[in-house]
Amino acid sequence: MNGRKRSRILVMAVAGSMLWALPAGLAVAQEASTTARATGAAAPATGTGALVTVGSPAGTHPQNAQNEPALAVDPASPNILAAGANDLVDMQPCSKQASTTAGACSFPLGTFNLGVGLTGVYFSFNSGHSWIQPTYQGLTAADCNPAAEPCTPHPGPIHTVPNFFENGLRSRSDPGVAFGPVPKNGTFSYANGSRLYFATLATNLTDTKIENGGINSNFAITVSHIDNLTPARVASQSNWSKPFFVPAHIASSAGLDKEQIWADNAASSHFFGNVYVCYSDFHSLSHSNNFALFPTVAVSTDGGHTWTSHHVAPPTTAPTQGFRQGCTVRTGSHGRVYAFFTHFSETSNTGAQTMVTSSTGGATWGRPVDFMQMNDGCFFVDPVAGRCNMEGPAGARTDLMAMPSIDIANGAPTGAGATNEIVDAWSDGRFGQNHEVTLLSFSTDRGQTWSTPATVSAPRDRALYSAPAIAPDGSRVYVSYNAFTTPFTTTTATPRLEHGVLRSAAIGAGGAPTGWTTEFTGASGDARGTSQGRILYNEFLGDYVYAIATRTYGAGVWTDVPNTADCPAMDAWRQASFTAGHRVFPAPWPLSDCPANFGNNDISSATTAP
């Protein structure tokens, strides 16, 4: 959950002119098209919403808090969806001592209950109309007394991804999910079944150096898997693999973060079945002026058991060169791998999106190219949290709003009908504060040229995080995003309304989306009623949303707040802390000073499936 920090308020940067082919340099758009926004939702909404995090209580913060969802669809059985999210359901009820004396919900400060898993997994077998959240066995702190310390976690029922405690680990955050074919006797085939891969950051049970084989860092990335999903199979912990390290060797100075996972899921691919994980490696935790931050992609060719990593872009964090963090990885129908990273500037809001490709199944990589200009929308840095946000004092961070979220029409599961069109969506601040939008650009020539970015969010939505998905046959594109509908404010005294949205458009001539329709708009809620759980000062909505597309429907997930209650005592404390420039104490205790459903942010979904 380490994220990018900004130490000053930055002014808006205005982008340049037209989009050109990559060899000519960074593609720039002066004005994103407003046609999509003007023509808006002409057709009636057809989507259906659902609660994903069904195992979470409505009350008892932070057990009621979830964020940062991921979503995947089984291309061989497109009615089957899997989701992941940061989920605090197995945490202790918010500690009175930690809350009032430190503005947190548990000890040790700066983390969560030691050893307790934080990454939930969820399944739908009806195209996203309803969800299940299994109960497994592991380490839990859910029954600790919030008025007494210490809280000692113990084995018991859990509602997060299993088999970490048994392997001396805990699932930590940043989930990713992807489906691919099952390997048998060295051959990948959907005839063997489908495999769900589940990626997450992980620590050991004491948040110290893991020292497991070649893992010498406090943080690792792991990938687990489960095959041939049915309601009965996902209910049994024994069907899950152990978590495998990505990669198998990590230096003591490494700090891995913000991973995303993808499986080459089209049988037409030369590298069918390969699995890829992109991530950032903070290869020094010294916080010096130019520590090494390696954009990295790891590949597995044996079903997620072993991994080989490759640094794919320069590791600089020098102020004059910026840094790359936040990634997406996808594959085309013939196996070309595309990895995308966010290239932040250290001197302005204007940065870029970087693309790097491999035609060798991830064994070798080409030159990274900055292909798209973005504006990261950092108009305000909270002096207490030290993070950019778009709401005001103590708002939810927006670090990765401009991250490129990508999908490719690769024809999965067979490769039939693939157009290999690439769609890229992100949230952007180029139109200024209170006018943040979701932009979308597409490429029909393997990323050599890109369309001028078009605004695809609905009017009056201030897009926070955005994600696209394109049908495997390139027939339709979907965009999921969450957004604020209230403007920036200088106090915590007024509501900060947020909701989730799923939109779609047909793909017309030349690959252009046409006729954007709002498929679903979720109910609004007040984001002031959220917190990070381990930190009570700031609101928290995570760092991304997700979308999937099949040949017949699309779906999206986001962090949602309609069931969250604002807490006047928390608002007043956050305002007093902001005014003082530091947290002031005593802080409120959510379990006595706030409504019961304070902190109850959920993961919600929408689907267009009938």
Q: What is the pLDDT of residue 154?
A: 98
Q: What is the pLDDT of residue 212?
A: 81
In whole angstroms, what is the distance from residue 63 CA to residue 151 CA? 15
- Give which of 203, 176, 171 is closest to 89, Cα–Cα: 171
Which is it for the CA torsion 363, 368, 373, 374, positive or negative? positive
Q: What is the pLDDT of residue 320?
A: 86
pLDDT(580) > 90: yes
- Give which of 549, 284, 311, 229 is closest to 412, Cα–Cα: 549
Per-residue confidence band for 422, with pLDDT thresholds at 50, 70 and 90:
very high
Q: What is the pLDDT of residue 446?
A: 97
Compute the radius of gyration of the chain from its Cα atoms.
22
- Higher-pLDDT residue of 8 and 516 is 516
Tens of pLDDT, residues 423-470: 999 999 999 999 999 999 999 999 999 999 999 999 999 999 999 999
Percent of the chain scoring above 70 in pLDDT: 92
In whole angstroms, what is the distance from residue 208 CA to residue 194 CA? 35
Q: What is the pLDDT of residue 34?
A: 38
Tracing tokens 């029909």 back to the chain, one arrives at 444
Mean pLDDT for all residues in the chain: 92
Q: If you average pLDDT over residues 236-252, what whole number do you get?
A: 93
In whole angstroms, what is the distance from residue 162 CA to residue 92 CA? 18
pLDDT(287) > 70: no
Per-residue confidence band for 254, with pLDDT thresholds at 50, 70 and 90:
confident
User: What distance, in Å, lies between the first and last C-alpha atoms of the chain?
Assistant: 36
Tens of pLDDT, residues 106-140: 999 988 999 999 999 999 999 999 999 999 999 99
Per-residue confidence band for 13, with pLDDT thresholds at 50, 70 and 90:
very low
Per-residue confidence band for 292, with pLDDT thresholds at 50, 70 and 90:
confident
Tens of pLDDT, residues 141-190: 999 999 999 999 999 999 999 999 999 999 999 999 999 999 999 999 99
| Domain 22-607 CATH (choose: 3.10.20.30, 2.30.30.90, 2.120.10.10, 3.30.930.10) | 2.120.10.10
Q: If you average pLDDT over residues 515-539, what whole number do you get?
A: 97
Q: What is the pLDDT of residue 289?
A: 59
pLDDT(42) > 70: no
SS3 222: strand
Among 22-26, 287-291, 320-324, 504-508, name the one with the lowest average pLDDT: 22-26
| Residue boundaries of the structural domains of the chain | 22-607
pLDDT(338) > 70: yes
In whole angstroms, what is the distance from residue 470 CA to residue 506 CA? 10
In whole angstroms, what is the distance from residue 484 CA to residue 500 CA? 9
Structure tokens at 505: 């458009």
Task: Kindly report the pTM of this predicted structure.
Answer: 0.94
